[in-house]
Amino acid sequence: MSESTPPDPEPHSAKPATKSFLARILSRIRPEPEDREDIKALLEAAHERRIIDEDSYAMISGALEVVNLTAGDIMVPRSKIDMLDIGKPLPELLPEIIETGHSRFPIFEDDRDNIVGILLAKDLLLTITNPAIDLRPLIRPAVFIPESKRLNILLHEFRNNRNHLAIVINEHGGTAGLVTMEDVLEQIVGDIEDEFDEDAEKTIFQTGSNNWRAMGMTEINVFNRSFNTTMPTDEYDTLGGWVTAELGRIPRRGDTVHREGLIITVVGADAKRVLWLNIQHDEHSTLAGPNDDN
């Protein structure tokens, strides 16, 4: 009696074991992310392996980070907000509106902490035919949020309510700062540049053959380099602070100071500080104009 041949193995009997082995290996290489840090690690690995490009990596990273940020983290602080005083007539407000170039302005009454609403620059088109128009009917309600408001929630509210600006208040109810929809979006997609952003770092602008416009916050050392002047830098840091000291009071629009062949005129100011100044050489001056690196 011949030996019986062993039965043929069942078809594909080894494959289940093979799949199981591969699954285990893959689970070690690409484990399921369990938290935000795991997602970041996978994202960084994909970026390093050039699976996603730089822009995509930055955008996805920004979307992950935005939930950890609050309005207080990115707001424009109170001291740098361009507000308008509802108590002033429109002709006094227009130079500031034009100079700052914003599309929306917080409006306050009596005190900068008492913000009564928001004025849209486009609504001022109604004043072209009537410069004496009362601005109060044009003021829109302001949105107030706490410093602790998370940006992902704020962005959702901006979209749903069609708001573009919110006033940030502190725990005592005072104005802490301001945040816009653009500020939030920039945390995700990076800086959103417009036609004015190329001059964002400049504080001195030429407006004519013998005219320059300087911001009150212009640093004195920058001004000195630009106009070859020797204004002191030991007591005051900014051009506006120096002008205030020269006048001995809070400057008003139209105030003029003469210095080293320059005529420096206040063209914009609020109750606390100088906003904008016009710079001219007097007719006998031979000083050069500002350099382009200011």
Q: What is the mean pLDDT of residues 49-66?
A: 74
Q: In what order do the strands lie in the sheet with 262-269?
A: 204-208, 211-215, 274-281, 262-269, 256-259
Query: What's the CA dihedral at 194, 198, 200, 206 to 10 degrees?
Result: -120
pLDDT band at 197 (very low <50, low <70, confident <90, very high): very low
Which DSSP category does 50 fall into?
A: T
Q: In angstroms, rounded to a whole number, what is the distance separating the alpha carbons of residues 78 and 147?
A: 12
Query: What's the CA dihedral at 10, 15, 21, 22 to 10 degrees?
Result: 180
Tokens of 126: 């109604």
Please write the tens of the pLDDT for every residue from 243-252.
998 999 888 8
Please write the tens of the pLDDT for every residue from 212-243.
888 888 899 899 988 999 888 877 888 998 99
Phi, psi of 109 (to 5 degrees): -130, 120
pLDDT of residue 192: 55
Q: What is the mean pLDDT of residues 93-119?
A: 85
Cα three-residue angle 152-153-159, rounded to 5 degrees: 90
Which residues sit opposite 259 in a β-bridge? 262
Q: What is the mean pLDDT of residues 152-166?
A: 89
pLDDT of residue 205: 84
Question: Contact, 120 vs 155, CB < 8 A?
Answer: no
